[in-house]
Structure 1
Amino acid sequence: MSSLHIKAVNKHYGDYHALKNIDIQIDSGEFLVLVGPSGCGKSTLMNTIAGLDQISEGAILIGDQEVTQLSPKDRDIAMVFQSYALYPSMTVRRNIAFGLEMRKVSPEQIAQEVDRVARLLQIDHLLERKPAELSGGQRQRVAMGRALAREPKIYLFDEPLSNLDAKLRVEMRTEIKKLHQRLKTTIVYVTHDQIEAMTLADRIAVMKDGVLLQLASPEQIYNNPVNMFVAGFMGSPSMNFVRSHLRSLNDGFAVELVNRDGERHLVPLPDRGKALSDWVNREVILGIRPEQIRQASDSPAGTYEGHLTTVLDVVEPTGADTLVVTQLNDQEVTARLDPESHPVPGCPFRLSVDLSKAVLFDPQSEDRIH
């Protein structure tokens, strides 16, 4: 295990600026997930860490050693690819052992290491098979085993689960999580799947257009996004963005919400001192998660809640909960309801809007209003 410092890294491809001053410090044993849409630069950054692509400016340090100019084989990094990259003519045993053989490790040590990794990943019964005889999940385990057999300083995972079906992806995600908890290895993991990022990461780095937008824990990214892009990218269903106006209410502030019938409601916001004073009577964008809009109970609204009646346009039962689509301020919003609420599309339904964790954004810059 070792720490990793990506230090003011820039990458140019001619006139195209692929990575823009990326600076990330990763502690030894930490699980960092790089997340963002296609083309955001996350795989480019991964390739620069591995040495597969040279950076234009900056430095990369593994532990106390700068490795910026070192070749991939001298960086002591293991990489697991999206495509598995297994040798089709070799058995599982040989695929796992191949890297060790190239490093001139003794046959006795290789046998011990292959057996250890195979037991760890529960593929010891597959050692004499070839990749064509394996399922997608088994192939991914072999690819992971080949990386784990080397015991490098850092593991790099480049969208390793994207080729698997949904059920297998969930199972492999759990395996990777358990593996990290057991081995305490330093991992950098690239994905465009925000659920993978939330469930696996110690910290998440959200990227867009080669820029690192936010680096924080999953909880911080989810509850305190720095801008609308981060807020909308993380979470499923994604955060609702509702154009509204900020109003004064008693000694604090409130957001104005209008239901389908044009009824206006002022829903209080948590006390933020004088931070919002400059925004009173101005347009803001209210960011509110689907789970913050739910069925209203018969009890009075809480401190930061507003009860309002609206009509549901769409009802989507998912088993664990029920998603509904309605309108607030003439904009579609999604709410996450209890499956026992039995909502009916086209019928009036009483909702509770909880703003205790709501986020406000500047309509122009799309940055969070603090």
Structure 2
Amino acid sequence: MAELHISKVSKHYGDFKALHNIDIQIDNGEFLALVGPSGCGKSTLMNTIAGLEDISDGQIRMANKDVTNLAPKDRDIAMVFQSYALYPSMTVYQNIAFALEIRKRPKDEIDKEVKRVARLLKIEHLLERKPAALSGGQRQRVAMGRALAREPKVYLFDEPLSNLDAKLRVQMRTEIKKLHKRLNTTTVYVTHDQVEAMTLADRIAVMKDGHLLQLGTPAEIYSRPVNMFVAGFMGSPAMNFISTTISRNDLGEFVIELTASQQASYSLSLPNGTDYSDWVGREIIMGIRPEHILADPQQLPAVLCDIEVTEPTGADLLITTSVNETEIIARVSPESEVTASRAHELFFDLKKAVFFDPQSQDRLNLASTKSL
């Protein structure tokens, strides 16, 4: 177990900057997920931690030791690559056992550990095969087994579940969570799958174009995104963004203006306690999650919407409609009596809405009216 400190790390390839002053403190036993679109720099950052890529600036410390210039073999890490990186001439058993043999562990201990990992990953029947005889998903499980058989200071996972089928991916996600809880080993996990990040990680680092945009708990990232990119990237379906204006009604309440079915206009009162004075009469972007737009009668502001598409998913019903000439999605109960090509009232939980500056796309930190 080891604390990992990535301090102002940058990586340049000629004039191209792949990483820009990344600064992340990972505590002992913490599980950190790195997420972002392809090309955002998350795998490059992973490789610098592993020592597979030199850094251009900054420092990497592990267990309070500077490992910036150490070779990968001297960093006491175990890494699972997206590309498997198995030894083709070795059997599955030998691939898993190899790192333990290098450390001169007793033969019976190695055998016990290999078989334990094989049971965990459901690959007992593959132990005598070589990588060429395995499917992509089987190779990935063997690569995971090779890392799990060791007890390093830090685990590094580079999209380890990407080649597994949906059912096995869920099972392995659970097993990884159980394993981390049992071993409490510091873990850095790269994924493009936000569900993996949300369910596995203690904290999530969201990256874009080599920049760290936000670092926080899954709840913080999901509920209080720093900007529209983070808000739209985390969550499936993505957060809805509605361009609107804020005004005051005759009671002095702050309201937003929405137009929906047959161009009918609605003034929805915003919850008390927040001061929107600086944005009255100005364009603003409201972000609201699909699950915060409801279809059943609530003590919430309602808007009559033309339902364009309904998509039953079993646990939910996804509804597509338009507000302010913007397509939005609501996630409602599958028992809701909503049908396509008809109008239906949707109820907006504005207490859960967040607001963004349309120019900078940053989330607004609005003052409380109680402090005025």
* TM-score strictly above 0.5: yes
Stretch of structure 1 that moved more, 127-136 or 150-159: 127-136
Q: Does structure 1 conserve the Cα–Cα contact (< 8 Å) formed by 2:357 and 2:363?
A: yes
Name the SS for the 1:341 alignment partner: coil
What are the equivalent positions in structure 2 for 1:16-95 lying under 5 Å apart?
16-95=16-95
1:218 match: 218
**Which residue of structure 1 aligns with residue 316 of structure 2?**
321
Contact 1:260–1:330, Cα closer than 8 Å, also in 2: no
- Matched length: 364
Q: Which is further off, 235-244 or 262-271? A: 262-271
Q: Distance in 2 between matches of 1:296 and 1:123?
A: 47
1:268 matched to 2:263: no
Residue by residue over 1:228-258, the C-alpha shift from the partner in whole angstroms, topping out at 9 and shown as x without a partner, is 0000000000000000001224454222111
- Among 321, 330, 333, the residue aligned to 1:335: 330
Shift of 1:133: 4.8
Q: Alpha carbons of 1:347 and 1:120: their partners in 2 closer, same or farther (altered >3 Å)?
A: closer
CA distance in 2, matches of 1:92, 1:355: 54
Normalization by structure 2: what TM-score?
Answer: 0.93
* CA distance, structure 1, for counterparts of residue 168 and residue 100 of structure 2: 29
What letter is aligned with 1:58?
Answer: G
Structure 1: gaps spanning 5 or more residues: none
Residue number in structure 2 paired with 1:286: 286
* Counterpart in the other structure of 2:301: 306
Give the alignment's TM-score, normalised by structure 1. 0.93
1:317-356 deviation digits (Å, cap 9, x = unpaired): 1111111111111111111121112422111111111111
Whole-Å separation in 2 of the counterparts to 1:182 and 1:12: 38
Q: Is the 8 A contact 2:293 2:330 kept in 1?
A: yes
Output the amino acid matched with 2:301: G
Counterpart of 1:262 in structure 2: which amino acid? Q
Is contact 2:307–2:341 with CA below 8 Å preserved after alignment?
A: yes
Distance in 1 between the 2:20 and 2:71 partners? Answer: 23
In 2, the alpha carbon distance for the partners of 1:105 and 1:296 equals 62
**Cα-Cα RMSD:** 1.8
Which runs of structure 2 are paired with 1:1-370 in the superposition (5 Å)?
1-249=1-249, 250-274=251-275, 276-297=276-297, 301-302=298-299, 305-370=300-365
For 1:208 and 1:257, locate their aligned partners in 2 and report how far apart those are by CA, in whole Å.
32
Contact 2:92 2:131 in 1 (8 A): yes
Residues 296 and 336 of structure 2 are in contact (CA less than 8 Å); yes or no, is this contact kept in structure 1? no
> After alignment, is 107-116 or 340-349 more displaced?
107-116
For residue 125 of structure 1, report the CA deviation from its aligned partner: 4.9
Give the CA deviation at 1:264: 1.9
Question: What is the percentage of aligned positions where both structures have the same residue?
Answer: 65
User: Is the CA contact (8 Å cut-off) linking 1:265 and 1:306 kept in structure 2?
Assistant: no
1:227/1:366 contact within 8 Å kept: yes
Deviations 1:4-55 (A, max 9, x none): 0000111111101111110000011111000000010000000000000011
Is the Cα contact below 8 Å between 1:239 and 1:290 reproduced in 2?
yes
CA distance in structure 2 between the aligned counterparts of 1:182 and 1:109, rounded to whole angstroms: 19
Is the partner of 2:351 in helix, strand or coil?
Answer: coil
Question: AA paired with 1:281?
Answer: G
Q: Distance in 1 between matches of 2:273 and 2:362?
A: 17
